[in-house]
């Protein structure tokens, strides 16, 4: 089961609810990326599990920002995409998804 939590920037108060790292549910595989065009951090689907026994996965050939559909994305390093300040986990795991 995938999990998400709230991260908040102590400098500009930007916040996002993301996994903050590679994660997966029973079917979907995600990782947290930052879009340099939208200036947001977001979990992006990078693949799916292909069998019921959850041992095989198929990664997507291309991934893009959920918001603008652009490809100017990179793995999120927990730095605020708005002001380049390290973000802090400000809540417990708040969302469980499958």
Task: Express each pLDDT in 29-74 by its tens digit.
Answer: 999 999 999 999 999 999 988 775 556 777 788 999 999 999 999 9
Band (pLDDT 50/70/90 cuts) for residue 95 is low
Q: By the 8 A CB rule, do 17 and 95 touch?
A: yes
The neighbour count for residue 49, using CB atoms within 10 Å, is 17
Residue ranges covered by each domain of the chain: 2-97
Q: What angle do CA 3, 56, 6 make, to 5 degrees?
A: 10
In the numeric block, the tokens 């380049």 are attached to 84
Q: By the 8 A CB rule, do 8 and 79 touch?
A: no
pLDDT number for residue 93 = 67
Largest CA distance in the chain: 44
- The token pair at 62 is 């291309």
């Amino acid at each position: 089961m995938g999990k998400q939590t709230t991260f908040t920037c102590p400098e500009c108060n930007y916040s996002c609810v993301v996994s903050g790292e590679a994660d997966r549910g029973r079917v979907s595989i995600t990782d947290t990326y930052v879009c340099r065009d939208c200036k947001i951090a977001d979990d992006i689907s990078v693949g799916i599990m292909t069998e019921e026994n959850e041992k095989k996965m198929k990664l997507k050939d291309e991934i893009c920002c959920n918001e603008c559909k652009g490809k100017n994305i990179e793995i999120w390093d927990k730095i605020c995409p708005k002001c380049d300040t390290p973000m802090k986990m400000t809540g417990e795991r708040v969302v469980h998804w499958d």
